[in-house]
Structure 1
Amino acid sequence: MKYFSLVAIILALAACQGAEVSEPLAAQSRSVSSIIVDTLESCKLHMVEGWPQYGIPPLAPLEIPHKRFNFGTGELHATGALDGLVVRGLNEFDIRVMSANLLLSNIKFEFHFASLNLTTQYEAEVDAGYQMARNGGAFLALEDLNISGQIKYSTGVVGSSNNVRIKEIQLNLVAGNVVSNIENLSKYRILNRKLNDVVEEFISLTINENTDFFADWVDSTVTPICNDLIGDRSIKDILDLIGGGSK
């Protein structure tokens, strides 16, 4: 998800800034939103191959061979690893809202994912008042996922090598449904299903009832990462990223 957020935000700003360089403000304000939409639609296609020249791997699907995890909440604590992690659906989204206000330097957006899901093999050591080891396959999906918000940015003098900076990212996530199918949470099938129900409810509540916490985390974490990724690249460099290195 992190890679997708960085690419989407930077490409949107690049399209916006590219229009600013080429057209007067009054004329571009009516068309820049469609330019951003076209840019993101192009981004969907490039996500299959990624942007290796910028260190961004393929995102459709996103494959991670091995990932350690350390998770704790309340009396539950789990450590372990995920192997053969595959995330699907990052490029399968509809753009429901895209509105750029160049005078106020902000972009409002809304994306909808029918399903964003992952499959993996896992191994975990779980402490829930007693120790237990678990392993097996896992499938998790966020269905009817809506991502909306706005990006506030600033621009410097046209022609400078570093004239785009993200000031603030406001993000809101709403998941319509969560699907969990994790094997071997219990050796009893009926209890395993009940534990998956608990996982589904936990993820749903975490996303839908902690919107302010998540928004603050995204702004404080993703904003500086995006600005670091932009670095001292020129507008031409960023526009080249959109086309995968082409003009």
Structure 2
Amino acid sequence: MKSILLIGLILALGSCQGAEIAEPLSAQDRSFSSVIVDGLEAFRVVLQNGSPNHGIPVMAPMTVSQRSFDFSSGEFSGSIGVEDFTLEGLDQYEVVAMKMDLIRSRVTFEINFKSVNFTTNYEVDMGSGYRIKRDGGAFFALEDLNIQGRISYSLGVFTSQLRVKDILIYPSVGNVNSQIENLSKYRIFNRKLNEVIEEFVTLTINDNTDFVASWVSEQATPICNDLIGDRTLSDIIAIITGGN
């Protein structure tokens, strides 16, 4: 997952400022926009085929044959198990906007996913004074998922070493589709419970964008700088344009 984060960061920052990148880009007769477009298309292929050299598995679709999770929070405890889990849609994105601000040293972008969804068979065993056991099939989708964001960066005066200052991500979702079987043995109640889940997820994403942006920045910024290491801007450009 860290490798994926680094690749995404490289794609966004690869068309940065300065004379240091002007020469390699002009030599290949490629504009800033074409570099980003080519990089994003290459990343789509990485999602579809994986990249063993970078430790990235196939993620479009992402499949998990079986996995279980134990949880304990206050009075609640239990386990959740999934089988034949398939996540789709990570490669089906549209770049709505990608803009470099050379003076302010930042990248702003907007990416839209038509549908990010998963199907699975699940089993839940939860206890809170009484025991609840449920199992069945499930389909869940975030439709028209929009990601707007900004990455601010800085370059060393003498070395052009790249440092990320902050990463702000603002998500929103157009529609949530929850079709989880056997939440209740009564069909009408099961549909109502799915509607509650849909409303809860929609409000959680759309009404907490500032919290998500702050949390992502705190978590992702140090990880990205650690992964960038001693790479300079030239190194980043070399990666995007085929050097590595």
Class of the TM-score when normalised by the shorter of the 2 chains: 0.7 to 0.9
Equivalent residues of 1:33, 1:100 under 8 A apart: no
Structure 2 residue matching 1:214: 3-state secondary structure = helix
Tell me the equivalent position of 2:123: 123
Is 1:87 the counterpart of 2:92? The answer is no
1:72–1:119 CA distance, 2 compared to 1 (3 A): farther
Equivalent residues of 1:44, 1:91 under 8 A apart: yes
Structure 2 residue matching 1:57: 3-state secondary structure = coil
Greater shift in the superposed pair: 233-242 or 99-108: 233-242
Unpaired runs of 5+ residues, structure 1, are none
> What residue identity is the alignment partner of 2:22?
E
Equivalent residues of 1:180, 1:200 under 8 A apart: yes
Q: Distance in 1 between matches of 2:135 and 2:235?
A: 45
Q: What is the CA distance between 1:75 and its match in structure 2?
A: 7.9
Is 1:39 the counterpart of 2:39? The answer is yes
> Between Structure 1 and Structure 2, whose CA radius of gyration is higher?
2
Tell me the equivalent position of 2:50: 50
Q: Percent identity?
A: 47
**Superposition TM-score, scaled by structure 2 size:** 0.83
Tell me the equivalent position of 2:198: 200
Tell me the equivalent position of 1:16: 15
Structure 2 residue matching 1:16: 3-state secondary structure = coil
Q: What is the CA distance between 1:181 and its match in structure 2?
A: 0.8
Q: Distance in 2 between matches of 1:204 and 1:214?
A: 14
Structure 2 residue matching 1:178: 3-state secondary structure = strand
Q: What is the CA distance between 1:227 and its match in structure 2?
A: 2.2
1:46–1:215 CA distance, 2 compared to 1 (3 A): same
Unpaired runs of 5+ residues, structure 2, are none
Q: What is the CA distance between 1:226 and its match in structure 2?
A: 2.1
Structure 1 residue matching 2:56: 3-state secondary structure = coil
Q: What is the CA distance between 1:64 and its match in structure 2?
A: 3.2
Q: What is the CA distance between 1:53 and its match in structure 2?
A: 1.1
Q: Distance in 2 between matches of 1:158 and 1:42?
A: 31
Q: Distance in 2 between matches of 1:110 and 1:242?
A: 20
Q: How many residues align?
A: 239
Q: How does 1:78-227 map to 2 (within 5 A)?
A: 79-127=79-127, 130-156=130-156, 163-227=161-225
Q: Distance in 1 between matches of 2:187 and 2:120?
A: 20
Greater shift in the superposed pair: 41-50 or 66-75: 66-75
Q: Distance in 2 between matches of 1:32 and 1:75?
A: 55
Q: Distance in 2 between matches of 1:3 and 1:119?
A: 25
Q: What is the CA distance between 1:126 and its match in structure 2?
A: 2.6
Q: Distance in 2 between matches of 1:40 and 1:246?
A: 16
1:128–1:182 CA distance, 2 compared to 1 (3 A): farther
**Superposition TM-score, scaled by structure 1 size:** 0.82
Q: What is the CA distance between 1:145 and its match in structure 2?
A: 1.0
Q: Distance in 2 between matches of 1:12 and 1:18?
A: 12
Equivalent residues of 1:147, 1:173 under 8 A apart: yes
